[in-house]
């Protein structure tokens, strides 16, 4: 799916473009999706650099095909990145299947990160530990490290000051490390999990 369209004017809001798209204006849909191409490219580039462009196109196509399922219960960006995560999940599953890589741990079906985490053992362990962290801290960790929202966006979404977001992010990181320290793991698995945790924390600095 190729994205075309003229530069967006300030008057073009997400809701306006979305409403026009739902009414059959394909150009409005293209213009709306075009807003997120750069973000999606960065999102996939951090996870599957050699396949980022393909995964972006898959995500845009899936969003177009599934537009009717968007009920407005979340922001359009959250909906779109939910599709992106599912596309990455499918991609990793296909890779694992092709390489005959076993998935050695199971996780209960949940939304968001835990679905993706089922692909790799260290992801499963991390998400399992994340689920044991205090909910107020866990949600900030998820939104910052997985949804890649800014501190200001998280504050608006949770209706809390940015200072509180920073505090919960710091406490959440410490709590997640504590949970992992108390998890019984083989040394090689522990090393892989800690390496994955470091990659989470260094990918984005508060």
List, in order of start, the domains of the chain with CATH numbers. 12-101 (1.10.1740.10), 102-206 (1.10.10.10)
Closest CA to 146 of 55, 85, 67: 85
pLDDT of residue 91: 78
Q: Provide the mean pLDDT of the chain.
A: 76
Q: Where residue 48 falls among pLDDT bands split at 50, 70, 90?
A: confident
Say if residues 124 and 117 touch (Cβ distance below 8 Å): yes
pLDDT of residue 53: 87
Please give the model's pTM, rounded to 2 decimal places: 0.48
Residues 6+ apart with CB under 8 A from 180: 125, 126, 129, 193, 194, 197
């Amino acid at each position: 799916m190729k994205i075309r369209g003229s530069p967006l004017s300030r008057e073009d809001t997400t809701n306006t473009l979305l409403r026009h798209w739902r009414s059959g204006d394909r150009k409005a849909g293209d213009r709306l999706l075009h807003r997120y191409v750069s973000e999606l490219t960065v999102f996939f580039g951090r996870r599957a650099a050699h396949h980022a462009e393909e995964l972006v196109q898959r995500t845009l196509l899936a969003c177009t095909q599934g537009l009717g399922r968007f009920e407005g219960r979340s922001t359009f960006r959250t909906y779109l990145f939910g599709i992106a995560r599912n596309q990455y999940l499918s991609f990793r599953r296909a890779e694992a299947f092709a390489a005959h890589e076993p998935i050695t741990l199971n996780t209960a079906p949940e939304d968001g990160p835990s679905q993706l985490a089922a692909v790799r053992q260290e992801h499963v362990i991390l998400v399992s530990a994340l689920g044991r962290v205090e909910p107020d801290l866990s949600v900030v960790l998820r939104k910052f490290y997985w949804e890649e929202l800014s501190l200001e966006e998280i504050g608006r979404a949770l209706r809390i000051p940015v200072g509180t977001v920073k505090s919960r992010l710091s406490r959440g990181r410490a709590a997640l490390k504590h949970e992992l320290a108390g998890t019984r793991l083989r040394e090689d698995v522990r090393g892989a999990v800690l390496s994955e945790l470091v990659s989470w924390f260094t990918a984005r600095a508060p």
